[in-house]
């Protein structure tokens, strides 16, 4: 099997417009692992560094991708001996830490939502894999907005057996829901990034005193002074609208201790 081209691997990340930040961050490390496993031995150390740079820069709109690749780069010893084996093991280690971050985040979020009465409505927007893991099997009635453009909320609702609302129905639903729970593609100092349509839900929730939670692994936080990048069908949502960010504090993955 021929060695993968780093530029084509970065193109895989750029072409993935279906999955959210957490899935794409893991995909970046998995693609790096594939490169290390198949690339020629000669010059592998330098080639791996170049491949990691390309993958880390491939999705500037999703800070989690660059952050997790940077975590891999900064915590790797870059040995001269047995480089391939060490790099592969390090990829596996970072993926395992990202998995622990998901488990911790979901556990934190589920404990926070445990006080919501059974059969209450919880509203979400888009199709966050972290939100999916959080609400799975909870005794609630999940409402999902269609989340146009793209309509991934329709697919998410169908997969979860939830009720799908048109986007213009979302603000009214936010006022009567027990909570609004969304994911994030990036979290900056003053705002977080999520699918367009999130801000109006946050504003409606704030007016109605509905809790508005953001469930996101801590590697989605942007370390200063890195700017918050917003593009495509995404928008910046003021953090002032958020009741709490429900995150992990996994060593080696977190960029700051977070939670609430």
Chain segment 214-228, per-residue pLDDT in tens: 999 999 998 778 889
**E-strand stretches of 121-160:** 121-124, 141-145
Whole-number pLDDT of residue 156: 96
Task: Look at residues 143, 191, 152, 193 and name the one whose alpha carbon lies nearest to residue 171.
Answer: 143
Residue 123 has, within 13 A of its CA and on its CB side, a CA count of 28
- Is residue 186 within 8 A of residue 164, CB to CB? The reply is no
How many whole angstroms separate alpha carbon 54 and alpha carbon 57?
Answer: 5
Whole-number pLDDT of residue 223: 79
Whole-number pLDDT of residue 252: 53
| Predicted confidence (pLDDT) per residue in 170-217, tens digit | 999 999 999 999 999 999 999 999 999 999 999 999 999 999 999 999
Residues of the chain with pLDDT under 70: 1-2, 250-260
Whole-number pLDDT of residue 257: 35
Task: Look at residues 167, 108, 153, 116 and name the one whose alpha carbon lies nearest to residue 138.
Answer: 116
Q: Please give the C-alpha separations between residue 66 and each of 25, 28, 188, 249, in angstroms, as whole numbers.
A: 8, 9, 14, 18
């Amino acid at each position: 099997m021929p060695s993968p081209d780093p530029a084509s691997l970065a193109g895989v990340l750029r072409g993935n417009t279906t999955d959210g930040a957490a899935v794409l961050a893991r995909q970046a490390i998995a693609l790096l692992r594939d490169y290390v496993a198949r690339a020629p031995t000669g010059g592998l150390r330098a080639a791996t560094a170049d491949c990691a740079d390309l993958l880390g820069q491939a999705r500037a709109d999703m800070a989690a991708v660059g952050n997790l690749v940077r975590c891999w780069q900064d915590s790797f010893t870059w040995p001269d001996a047995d480089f391939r084996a060490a790099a592969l093991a390090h990829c596996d280690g970072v993926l395992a830490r990202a998995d622990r971050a998901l488990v911790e985040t979901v556990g934190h979020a589920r404990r926070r939502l445990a006080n919501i009465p059974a059969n209450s409505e919880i509203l979400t927007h888009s199709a966050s894999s972290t939100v999916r893991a959080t609400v799975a099997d909870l005794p609630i009635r999940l409402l999902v907005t269609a989340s146009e453009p793209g309509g991934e909320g329709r697919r998410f609702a169908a997969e979860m057996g939830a009720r799908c609302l048109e986007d213009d129905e979302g603000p009214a639903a936010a006022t009567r829901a027990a909570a609004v729970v969304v994911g994030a593609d990036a979290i900056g100092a003053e705002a977080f990034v999520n699918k367009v349509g999130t801000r109006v839900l946050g504003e409606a929730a704030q007016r109605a005193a509905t809790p508005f939670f953001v469930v996101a692994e801590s590697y989605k936080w942007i370390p200063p002074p890195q700017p918050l990048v917003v593009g495509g069908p995404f928008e910046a949502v003021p953090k002032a609208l958020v009741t709490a960010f429900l995150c992990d504090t996994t060593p080696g993955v977190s960029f700051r201790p977070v939670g609430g």
